[in-house]
Structure 1
Amino acid sequence: MPVKLAIVFYSTYGTNHQMAQTAAEAAREAGAEVRLLKVRETAPQEVIDTQDAWKAQQESSADVPTATPDDMEWADAYLFSSPTRFGSVASQMRSFIDTLGGLWGQGKLANKGFSAMTSAQNPNGGQETTLQSLYFTAQHWGSIIIAPGYTDPAIFASGGNPYGASVTANGQPLSDEDKATIRHQAKRLVEMTAKLIA
């Protein structure tokens, strides 16, 4: 049976969407069944409409399904990707997480692989604390954290974050180094989860 992987992202300007797409491609290559999912936008539309890049990202991801608790129950593993906001995840991602109390209470998020990715406008913009805050949540669920660690040379080439892929968002496409890190992380998550469910 293939690993069932839910890749859940929030993306204001497109970086985390690109990251999630890169991870989905790599995970499928590793044999996983993947659901690429965005979380619901909670910002008022009139605010989004004042920023061209935000509105463009909303339009470019219009066909991406919105994550639900059913997707979380379905999956064997999770890969979350969120921009950092003041050292933690974006409020849109936190709002989705806050809908999962019922599943958590039933133990349906436990014993599943979990990994996380993030971005910020600068390398010291809270990327590591954002990843750690997602891992704190996963620990409460009883999920099994599968961080990339220093398990591939790609980690060093992209800045050396062992907690998860972390990209300096500059409005440009992902670099080859960033893509390599993301691909390694996604494949490692699939491989380790396959061992968990064997």
Structure 2
Amino acid sequence: MYQPKTAVIYYSSTGNVHRLAEAAIEGAEKAGAETRLRKVRELAPEAAISASDAWSAHVEATTDVPTAEVEDLVWADVVIFGAPTRYGNVPSQFQQFLDLTGPVWAAGKLADKVYSAFTSSQTLHGGQESTLLSLYTTMYHWGGIVVPPGFTDPITFQSGNPYGASHVSGGGDFPGEIDLEAARYQANRAVDMAAALAKGFSPAAM
């Protein structure tokens, strides 16, 4: 049985995106994928981190999560990115990770993979769509196959974001079950799409 290798690579300062990433891993594994959960390297100064109890607590709580490397992108058949919104774009930590991919992109090692993304913001529509679109633009440059959830399942109608799973932290400090289920579904769909493409027939025929 084909098991698409799936990397969920995320950045999270206070834990919301981390929990969505864990849910995405759950969805990918349910679809039969071999998975890697990786966090993007923290670049913020210690003074900024220690000034926030939630931020410093999350950094301490996730010391066991391996740091994302470009090799994780090369390894994967499916890549799912998770990043909070910063002024309608990804945080600098995540952008720095993307900026390291030039050599493997130039070698064609990021093309023809299935990609998807999810996000979290302080307020509803507080830059969620533009953050996800900026991530998808990078995937287009790589020659990736972008697979958003779309309105393809009832959970997406409940979550309200066809671009990707999302969470509004202003509406609660932790992703709710709808947010988590949307992340599970999104990852499941991406893995199913990769498996269908590997078999050489239309996913609609599955």
Corresponding residue number in structure 1 for 2:78: 77
Corresponding residue number in structure 1 for 2:164: 164
TM-score normalised to structure 2 length: 0.93
Corresponding residue number in structure 2 for 1:97: 98
Q: CA shift at 1:63, angstroms?
A: 0.4
Structure 1 alignment gaps of length 5 or more: none
8 Å Cα contact 2:23/2:181 also seen in 1 = no
The C-alpha deviation readout for 1:34-81, integer Å capped at 9, x for no partner, is 100000001111221111111011011110000111111100010000
Q: CA shift at 1:173, angstroms?
A: 2.7
Structure 1 stretches of at least 4 aligned residues deviating more than 2 Å after TM superposition: 170-173
Alpha-carbon separation, structure 2, partners of 1:164 and 1:132:
10
Q: Say yes or no: does 1:47 pair with 2:43.
A: no
- Report percent identity of matched pairs: 49
The C-alpha deviation readout for 1:113-155, integer Å capped at 9, x for no partner, is 0000000000121000000000000000001000000000101
Q: CA RMSD in A?
A: 0.9
Corresponding residue number in structure 1 for 2:149: 148
SS in structure 1 of the partner of residue 126 of structure 2: coil
Alpha-carbon separation, structure 1, partners of 2:195 and 2:9:
19
Structure 2 alignment gaps of length 5 or more: 200-206
Amino acid at match of 1:162: P
Q: CA shift at 1:180, angstroms?
A: 1.6
Equivalenced residues, count: 197
Q: Say yes or no: does 1:116 pair with 2:117.
A: yes
Alpha-carbon separation, structure 1, partners of 2:47 and 2:176:
32
TM-score normalised to structure 1 length: 0.97
